Amino acid sequence: QVQLVQSGSELKKPGASVKVSCKASGYTFTSYAMNWVRQAPGQGLEWMGWINTNTGNPTYAQGFTGRFVFSLDTSVSTAYLQISSLKAEDTAVYYCARHGYSSSWPDYWGQGTLVTVSS
């Protein structure tokens, strides 16, 4: 069965970096793109962008350029989200979610990774 398993919660200080992983199983990793979605505490869903798992080409939503980097390791079917120069407002749950190249709607989601930024 399709599974996206994300890395565990992180507690970071302002200015630090964090790397969240999303390991896929149960399907061919390169047949689906990977999205990243942020949800701040008590807030709605915010799409951060997606990465083409065939080419490694990322697309970032407005507001998620510069400090946010999507990457892949296709040898282990894993997508990564790295956030640098962390700020308190980056505190959120981060989700990965796949979508088919011919479908465009994210269907399977990871369980989410809570990143807390606090001094």
Partner 1 sequence: DIQMTQSPSSLSASVGDRVTITCRASQSISSYLNWYQQKPGKAPKLLIYAASSLQSGVPSRFSGSGSGTDFTLTISSLQPEDFATYYCQQSYSLITFGQGTRLEIK
- Are 114 and 12 contacting, i.e. CB atoms less than 8 angstroms apart? no
- Are 43 and 97 contacting, i.e. CB atoms less than 8 angstroms apart? no
CA quadruple 52, 4, 103, 81: dihedral sign? negative
- Are 27 and 4 contacting, i.e. CB atoms less than 8 angstroms apart? no
What residues are paired with 38 via a beta bridge? 46, 94
Q: How far is the CB of 47 from partner 1 (least distance, A)?
A: 4
Q: How far is the CB of 32 from partner 1 (least distance, A)?
A: 13
What would the x/- binding string for partner 1 be over residues 12 to 51, using CB under 8 A? -----------------------x-x------xxxx--x-
Nearer to partner 1, 55 or 119 (CB): 55
What would the x/- binding string for partner 1 be over residues 46 to 85, using CB under 8 A? xx--x--------x-xx-----------------------
Region from 18-26, 66-74, 78-86, 105-113 binding partner 1, contact rule CB under 8 A? 105-113
Q: Comparing C-alpha atoms, which of 61, 69, 72 is closest to residue 85?
A: 69
